[in-house]
Structure 1
Amino acid sequence: MKVLLIEDDQAYASVLSRRLSKYKLTVEHSENNSDALLKVRSFKPDAILLDMHLAGESGLTLISPIKHVLPFCRIILLTGYASIATAVKAIKLGADDYLAKPIDTDTLLKTLDVSDQNIATEFTHVPKHLSAEQAEWEHIQQVLRANDGNISAAARHLSMHRRTLQRKLKKRPSFISKN
């Protein structure tokens, strides 16, 4: 699998590239919007890890042009400034997934749909086209996992009141079985 990493933080990109290369993924790196579009055309990746903020530019502006050139390429938006509003906007623009930094290797490989015997944990497959409700629910679940289930910490991370988060968690979305 070929992965294009569009990230302006050189140190983070280097670490991520090394981690993915261990799983026999071919990784190329780009630091800005214009270079990224050139690499999309020449490298033709299967998946793109796209940083939300690229040295003063928005990574969101790349989603439509990338989908135009490679309509079946998976685009996974990475951000250190996660919010439900940007998650919904990214999904509406055509991103396939939205992950908050820092991200662990297992979650990243699962999101890329990389099947490897070294990955023993199971996960629920997230559909390629998420509704706004699904994107919000997935984002909340990811933030909760990142905060070890601590609702107060997750609420702070999401910039919402703890009770609001609790209400959202009680309203189990219709796409999730209630078993």
Structure 2
Amino acid sequence: MNTLQRAKRQSGFIASYILYGIGLLAIVGVAYGRLNMSNQQGRVVQQTVEDVASQLEVIRGKVLLCAAIYPDGDHLQFNTRHAYPAPAGVGNRDLISNVECPGAPLGSRSLATMSDGIPLPASPPEFEEWIYEHTELNGIRLRLNPRVAGGAEATRNRLLRQYPSTAALDGDELVFIVLN
């Protein structure tokens, strides 16, 4: 073999190792990108779960405060939990922004304008506005519907794990028990 052929073979050998190295770097880059994207999605889900948990506590606090501030209030709809709001809508459900404390001193007072100075929280972007439900048999519930059918599945599953005794699924809708 002459020197020219040997040099061509060596350069081909070196080029194949360089291509092999580039291929390995591409595989590692794709794997890292997927891992990073998965971590970001996990952080978004956890942030949404934390937002829902804090919103749930704010709304629950407002509902309980309503009965504490206006203990003589009466929604006049059924014979239980008189001082708690009971929306007149179908199934005694309504958007949380429409819910009012019954019999406040100057008539009904919206949960959003209570004297606690805390505004009603806006639901997370993946969900519709909170729905308040108060029925004679089932008590007081807060409902959260995903904006898209089957949406926010990871968030819903994590919330169900976080609230095993007070949260349930009703179709795609999350239902949280406030008071039985």
* TM-score, structure 1 normalization: 0.24
* TM-score, structure 2 normalization: 0.24
Q: Which has the larger radius of gyration?
A: 2
